[in-house]
Chain A
Amino acid sequence: MAESHKQEYIIEARGLVKKFGFKTALRQVDLFLKKGDCLALFGPNGAGKTTLIQTMCSLMRPTAGKVVIAGFDTRYDSAALHQFIGVIAHDTFLYSDLTAAENLVFYGRMYNVSRLNEKIENLINLVGLSAYAHDQVQTFSRGMKQRLSVARAIIHDPAILFLDEPYTGLDQQGIEDLKQLLMKFRDQGKTIILTSHNLSRGLELCNRAAILNAGVLIYQEDIAKIKKDDFKQIYLKLTGEKTWPAQAPLPASSKNSRRSCGKISYPS
């Protein structure tokens, strides 16, 4: 890992701007995460959540600003950076002609994973697909693909996870399994950025929350401190929902958050 990885923030996004032609998707976004932080990123459709994730994991080049992850500038060191990040997105990035095991073999080789066969066996068991390891992915349901996508994303044991709506397409059991898995990653000290429309899942998992609207990061705070703020009102106003979801842990449930990071100071 680069020398600068020893610095305070494992993820630094400064002044991020992303434009698609005349449309501005991200406007001066600043985001700083320490190692082990777990951020839930909320926002209405079209807020720029996916663009922010894609820009941060170097799939898109920012129009202005920069992202430094684990000491690597995403504009120049993307190949080295990719060893440290895992991404789960709407698309599963799986090859439908290949079997579940073959997909993992392919990605494992790309990441130069050692003891690959053993690792694949463990991962397939972990995501509950051991009975389907040698079935082609095109025969899988959306939920099974998403489970395999989780295995794909963590095959190289990344320190940082970007999760863009990871619960999409999963049944209740799948959601519960993935939730437990993500909590395990969180407890292992992995840094996680999760986008979700589901407040309860985001707040349950993470120790920080942020709201993105029209490309602007309008709110970010420790979940432990949310009670004092107007997170709920902002979110309800943006999404147009009339009531706070029953399952969502209201600010008082900050016991779910693993720890408080204390006052976050943002470097200028």
Chain B
Amino acid sequence: MWKDFLSELRSKELVLSMCLFAFLVLIIFSFAFGTGLKSFKGIIPGILWVAFIFSGLLGLNRSFGVERDKGTLPGLLLCPVSPWEIFLAKMIGTLIFTVIMEIFTLLVFTILYNQNFLPFLLPLGLVILLGTLGFSIIGTIFSAMSSTTSTRDVMLSILVFPIYVPVIIAAVKATGLILDGTSIQTVYAWLKILVAFDLVFLLLAYLTFGFIMEE
């Protein structure tokens, strides 16, 4: 993980491109819907999560893709660590890079749409973290799987989105409820779905990642 951060610090390719993409998504939505729309508040969670997911995909593509492209993956696999440890390092790296992009996105959203997230920061942060964790877990699994294919970028989107749908629904619903000022008890049901999803896919990664990395 250390070398991923050092590498990113030098090249600034990943976080910069993710943030730029998120910024463009927000700009496009602001032109498409305008901010004066009465029902605008209802679509805020959707806009946010679309920006998060599409920008996050850029990061996923690089997770294992870069290792394959640079021919460093065998070197990593030859180290005396289990595939599970490699998975955890890559997943946490993806999670941190994505969270940085999400913080940037929230700041830009605040400026562009004049939306104050400060009163909801803690519950909103929890939902975003759980949703992003699920995204990072699934994304890392499929990034490793698709990195051998020539159509890696397309394959990753095709593989990740259908499986990620339950998280998107839960995260968007929970975000909407939080922004509406609903009590945390109402949000709790959606949070449980997010936690369950994260745990199930973490377990799945633990059981299968060794086989995925083999060839």
Cβ B80 vs Cβ A97 within 8 A? no
Q: List A61-99 residues whose CB lies under 8 Å from chain B.
A: 61, 79-83, 85, 87, 89, 91-98
Cβ B78 vs Cβ A102 within 8 A? no
A59 on interface, CB distance cutoff 8 Å: yes
A246 on interface, CB distance cutoff 8 Å: no
| Stretch from A37-45, A105-113, A217-225 at the B interface | A105-113
B-side contacts of A110, CB under 8 Å: 76, 79-81
Q: What's the nearest-Cβ distance from chain B to residue A208, in Å? A: 24
Cβ A92 vs Cβ B6 within 8 A? no
Q: Which of B10, B72, B81 has the largest count of A CB atoms less than 10 A from its CB?
A: B72
Known: A82-B80, A85-B78. A95 touches B215 (CB 8 A): no
Q: What's the nearest-Cβ distance from chain A to residue B54, in Å? A: 26
Cβ A152 vs Cβ B6 within 8 A? no
A-side contacts of B11, CB under 8 Å: 97
B162 on interface, CB distance cutoff 8 Å: no
User: A residues bordering B, Cβ < 8 Å?
Assistant: 54, 57-61, 79-83, 85, 87, 89, 91-98, 102, 106-107, 109-112, 136, 152
B71 on interface, CB distance cutoff 8 Å: yes
User: B residues bordering A, Cβ < 8 Å?
Assistant: 2-3, 6-7, 10-11, 70-72, 74-82, 214-215
Q: What's the nearest-Cβ distance from chain A to residue B14, in Å? A: 11
B-side contacts of A106, CB under 8 Å: 2-3
Cβ A92 vs Cβ B79 within 8 A? no
- Which of A57, A94, A136 lies in contact with B78, CB distance below 8 A? A57
Cβ A102 vs Cβ B71 within 8 A? no
B-side contacts of A109, CB under 8 Å: 2
Cβ A80 vs Cβ B71 within 8 A? no
Q: What's the nearest-Cβ distance from chain B to residue A60, in Å? A: 6
Extra contacts besides A61-B214, A97-B7 (9): CB < 8 Å: A54-B74, A80-B80, A81-B80, A85-B78, A98-B7, A102-B3, A110-B79, A110-B80, A110-B81
The CA of A70 and the CA of B79, in the complex, are separated in Å by: 16
A-B contact pairs, 25 of them (CB 8 A): A58-B78, A59-B74, A59-B78, A60-B215, A79-B82, A82-B78, A82-B80, A85-B78, A87-B78, A89-B74, A91-B74, A91-B75, A92-B71, A93-B75, A93-B78, A94-B72, A94-B75, A95-B7, A95-B72, A97-B7, A98-B6, A102-B3, A106-B2, A110-B76, A110-B80
The CA of A57 and the CA of B82, in the complex, are separated in Å by: 15
The CA of A92 and the CA of B70, in the complex, are separated in Å by: 9
The CA of A225 and the CA of B192, in the complex, are separated in Å by: 71
The CA of A79 and the CA of B92, in the complex, are separated in Å by: 21
A-side contacts of B76, CB under 8 Å: 93, 110
The CA of A111 and the CA of B81, in the complex, are separated in Å by: 8
B-side contacts of A91, CB under 8 Å: 71-72, 74-75
Identify the closest chain B residue to A57 (Cβ). Answer: B78
Cβ A79 vs Cβ B214 within 8 A? no
A-side contacts of B81, CB under 8 Å: 79, 110
B-side contacts of A102, CB under 8 Å: 3, 6
The CA of A25 and the CA of B148, in the complex, are separated in Å by: 19
Cβ A93 vs Cβ B72 within 8 A? yes
B-side contacts of A54, CB under 8 Å: 74
Q: What's the nearest-Cβ distance from chain B to residue A167, in Å? A: 18
Q: What's the nearest-Cβ distance from chain A to residue B119, in Å? A: 41
The CA of A185 and the CA of B156, in the complex, are separated in Å by: 44
Cβ B79 vs Cβ A59 within 8 A? no
Known: A91-B71, A91-B74. A107 touches B79 (CB 8 A): yes
A-side contacts of B82, CB under 8 Å: 79
The CA of A104 and the CA of B130, in the complex, are separated in Å by: 35
Identify the closest chain A residue to B73 (Cβ). Answer: A93
The CA of A110 and the CA of B72, in the complex, are separated in Å by: 14
B-side contacts of A93, CB under 8 Å: 71-72, 74-76, 78
The 8 closest A-B pairs by CB, nearest first: A93-B75, A91-B71, A110-B79, A97-B7, A82-B80, A83-B80, A106-B3, A97-B10
Identify the closest chain A residue to B11 (Cβ). Answer: A97
The CA of A152 and the CA of B74, in the complex, are separated in Å by: 13
B-side contacts of A59, CB under 8 Å: 74, 77-78
